[in-house]
Chain A
Amino acid sequence: MVAVKETVEQVKQLDVDQYKYGFSTELEVEKAPKGLSEDIVRFISMKKGEPSWMLDWRLDAFRRWKTMDEPQWARVHYPKIDFNDSYYYAAPKKNAAPKTLDDVDPAILETYKKLGIPLREQELLAGVQTSKIAVDAVFDSVSVVTTFKEELKKAGVIFCSISEAIKDHPDLVKKYLGSVVPVTDNYYATLNCAVFTDGSFVYIPEGTRCPMELSTYFRINEKNTGQFERTLIIAEKGSYVSYLEGCTAPQRDENQLHAAVVELVALDDAEIKYSTVQNWYPGDADGKGGIYNFVTKRGDCRGANSKISWTQVETGSAITWKYPSCILRGDNSRGEFYSIAVSNGYQQVDSGTKMIHLGKNTSSRIISKGISAGHSQNTYRGQVSAHRKATNARNFTNCDSLLIGETCGAHTVPYLESKNASAVFEHEATTSKISEDQLFYCRQRGLSAEEATALIVNGFVKDVLQQLPMEFAVEAQKLISISLEGSVG
């Protein structure tokens, strides 16, 4: 397998500094004043040139947020966040309103190049890759460029930044924004409603199969700046879209906040496949710095026979608090959650999913693979529930944890709730360790300790990696071994 070889090679090339996305880019930026207030909310809205209904929505959220408390139930520990000690808006100065790639600051393009993100359509087209990926790139608070727009437009697909969508497609945004994750859903989601700065918007018209993979890359660059992006994907009846999301951030000593909201709506017979490779800066070897990642992702299978599947590879962030979920509202709808969560160093992961069965004959599948190394703590938290009317609801959950070393922890917290006697939920969970004997066996066959670990881990996560689009699977495999570098020997 090529991927195994690449993993092995990647591990070999590694230096002491494991986080290769840790560089930062020098840019002239425009920032909002530090802190959080109604004025800041107004500032953001004004900078975005938003209509007044949007500002009102934000202000309403902000007022509600002030009455809310930070949730405490997750198995993560961190000092109290001072929300006034952050910047809530940072935009590269040159990027007033880029119309084409040529208007974008070359320093930003250079950054994305370093990250390996193919923004230049011509490069992509000239490349050997057979598949095309349309990219929306979000740099700190603004979307810098969206590629392949014209081609997508021909298919009737809208793929643009959420800021543009608010201006150009207000009816769609008004109809769907906040319809899956209500404004007051949770503390971080409500904060996001007030101060979100950018993100992606996707609309797939009825009966359309999106002609290419859509992708967004999020990059936090500025110091002390929170990133609050907002993504909204609507798949009309009988449509299909596959969407990829990637995230990186520079290496910084202080913690940075990331609180995104992603809403997916699938109407009758529609399918949305949402994949994430999350690689925010995880902090240094002593647990200093890193991103606090508090994310609300939810998909609504609103129509009959609709399907939403979440696939995530989580390797970064100091703290991950994230539960991509599905509301299975339409009859015969299906939700899937495939997850690989890797933690090393002092990372804390509390992640999982919710499958809420409301309609008849709804089914869901959860495959979660947690890998803990170093001093990290890795918790799977999952809820499966069947509503009174959810006749014949089916869930299968498989939740495996792999421990590397003696100082890490893995935890599984499943919640099962059924109000309909015909519902069948299956739950399997295992916890294992990479045994010394397994390692020795591999090394006796000629593999180094790192190669052996990478191989065993790849085997462990195989079921989930297979769910990722090809381009991402290879990248994800590399990432996993990079994240685990230094955890053996």
Chain B
Amino acid sequence: MLEIRNLHVAIEDGTKKILNGLNLTIRDGEVAAIMGPNGSGKSTLSYVIAGKDDYEVLDGEILLDGENLLEMEPDARAAAGVFLAFQYPLEIPGVATMTFLKAALNAQRKGRGENELTTPDFMKRVKVGAEKLGIPQDMLKRGLNVGFSGGEKKRMEILQMALLEPSIGILDETDSGLDIDALKIVSEGVNALRSAKRSFLVITHYQRLLNYIVPDTVHVMSKGQIVRTGGKELAFELEANGYADYVTNAAA
């Protein structure tokens, strides 16, 4: 279970507040969607959960299964089960995707006090995962994300999530830049990972993705706060009416 209480965040120099007392709870097995206008702080929330340096947490707490994430290094949070599928995945030239996957997987296993995977075992997992997402084998030999299309990068994020088996998967605008076929493949990849123990935080600007990854709850974010919470039907309402209401409300 992920619990975020009264979270206040500014950018590092402290001049600009981005999150203003955000509250959000995601139960085990729940798929929560966050929707909101551009600039409302959705990516910031995902970065703060994952532990990016650029932000200053002024107040509040983030607990994963009761553990205080804010006191942990980013790699420790990853080992504890936080996975962030980036809105803009980074390129690591010269590091074969396969090499990166293995390094990451074994680092996390080590972080949890587990044994490293044997190479055949690892290769098998990658092969199965890649096939499901339509990722060709030779892409795994190329430098991570180097020269990948937007859609390929997003698929690679999902492959990483599948291998790393997090307890909470955060998807930051994974649908952006995907055509409908890719959207389906990626959504199927995510749906296959849904389980009673694993929760998801699906960040999106558009309702479309939620046709494929059907959420349990939908939260509307504006000006760094959750301003409304409902079921999956809330997404349709937003799609029909836009965010205009929330932008003015929150500003008022």
In the complex, what's the smallest C-beta–C-beta distance from A38 to chain B, in angstroms?
53
B87-101 contact mask (Cβ, 8 Å, vs A): 1 or 0 = 001111111100110
Q: Interface residue count for B (Cβ, 8 Å)?
A: 36
Give the interface centre of A435, A442, A444, A460 by most chain B CB atoms within 10 Å. Answer: A444
Question: Would you call B50 an interface residue if the criterion is a C-beta within 8 Å of the partner chain's C-beta atoms?
Answer: yes
Contact assessment for B95 and A443 in the assembled complex, using a CB-CB cutoff below 8 Å: no
Contacts A1-B99, A443-B73, A455-B100 known; A448 to B94 CB distance under 8 Å?
A: no
Check if B103 sits within 8 Å of A447, measured CB to CB: yes
Tell me whether A458 and B94 are in contact in the complex, defined as CB-CB below 8 angstroms, given that A447-B104, A448-B107 are known contacts.
Answer: yes
Do the beta carbons of B95 and A458 come within 8 Å of each other?
A: yes
What are the residues of chain A within 8 A of B86 when measuring CB–CB?
441, 444
Interface centre among A438, A451, A458, A459 (most CB of B within 10 A): A459
- B248 CB to closest chain A CB (Å) equals 34
Name the B residues within 8 Å of A1 (CB-CB).
Answer: 96, 99, 102
Asked whether, in the complex, the Cβ of A4 is within 8 Å of the Cβ of B103, the reply is yes
Q: How far is it, in angstroms, between the C-alpha of A440 and the C-alpha of B54 when the chains are bound?
A: 10
For B54, give the chain A residue with the smallest CB separation: A436
Interface status of A63 (Cβ within 8 A of chain B): no
Contact between A5 and B106 (Cβ–Cβ < 8 Å)?
Answer: yes
Q: Mark A429-455, 1 if CB is under 8 A from B, else 0.
A: 000000111101111111111010001
A462 within 8 A of B: yes
Please state if A446 and B50 are interface contacts (CB–CB under 8 Å): no
Q: A5-B106, A446-B79, A455-B100 are in contact. Are A460 and B164 (CB under 8 A)?
A: no
- B99: chain A residues at CB < 8 Å are 1, 4, 455
Q: Among A438, A446, A462, which residue has its beta carbon within 8 angstroms of that of B104?
A: A446
The residues in B between 193 and 227 inclusive whose CB is less than 8 angstroms from any CB of A are: none
Tell me if A440 and B52 are in contact (CB < 8 A): yes
Residue of A nearest to B50 (CB): A444
- Give Cα distance in the complex from A449 to B51, angstroms: 13
Tell whether A76 is near chain B: CB-to-CB under 8 Å. no
A8 within 8 Å of B by Cβ? Answer: yes
A456-B99 Cα distance, complex, nearest whole Å? 11
CB contact between B107 and one of A446, A461, A462 (< 8 Å): that residue: A446
Query: How far apart are the CA atoms of A459 and B142 in the complex, in Å?
Result: 11
Within 8 Å by CB of A444, from B78, B96, B102, lies: B78
- Determine if A5 and B103 form an interchain contact, defined as CB atoms under 8 angstroms apart: yes
Contact between chains at B103 and A451 (CB < 8 Å): yes
A435 to B91, CA, bound (A): 11
| In the complex, B3 has a CB within 8 A of chain A | no
User: Interface residues of A toward B: which range?
Assistant: 20 to 34
A interface: dominant SS: helix
Q: Is B143 among interface residues, defined by CB-CB distance under 8 A?
A: yes
B53 at the interface (CB under 8 A from A): yes
Return A459 CB to nearest CB of chain B, in Å: 3
A463 at the interface (CB under 8 A from B): yes
* Binary interface encoding of chain B residues 52-66 relative to chain A, with 1 for a CB under 8 A from any of its CBs, else 0: 111000000000000
Residues of A within 8 A of B96 (CB): 1
- A34 to B121, alpha carbons, bound, how many Å? 63
- Contact, CB under 8 Å: B53 / A447: no
Residue B150 at the chain A interface, CB threshold 8 Å: no
**Would you call B78 and A445 a contact (CB within 8 A)?**
yes
B-facing residues in A399-457 (Cβ within 8 Å): 435-438, 440-449, 451, 455-456
When C-beta atoms are compared, the residue in chain A nearest to B74 turns out to be A443
Expressed in whole angstroms, the minimum distance between the Cβ of A13 and any Cβ of chain B is: 14
Residue of A nearest to B110 (CB): A446
**Given the known A-B contacts A440-B52, A451-B107, are A446 and B78 also in contact in the complex, defined by CB atoms under 8 Å?**
yes
List which A363-415 residues lie within 8 A (CB) of chain B: none
Q: Apart from A440-B53, A444-B74, what are 16 other A-B pairs with CB-CB below 8 Å?
A: A436-B53, A438-B91, A438-B92, A441-B86, A441-B89, A445-B78, A445-B160, A446-B75, A446-B79, A447-B75, A448-B107, A455-B92, A456-B95, A458-B95, A462-B95, A463-B94
Can you show 21 pairs from A to B with CB atoms below 8 A apart?
A: A1-B99, A1-B102, A4-B99, A5-B103, A8-B107, A435-B90, A436-B53, A438-B91, A440-B52, A440-B74, A443-B78, A444-B78, A445-B100, A446-B78, A446-B104, A446-B105, A448-B73, A455-B92, A459-B143, A461-B94, A462-B95
A interface, CB within 8 angstroms of B: 1, 4-5, 8, 435-438, 440-449, 451, 455-456, 458-463
Closest 9 interchain pairs by CB?
A459-B94, A446-B108, A459-B95, A445-B104, A443-B74, A441-B90, A446-B107, A446-B78, A462-B94
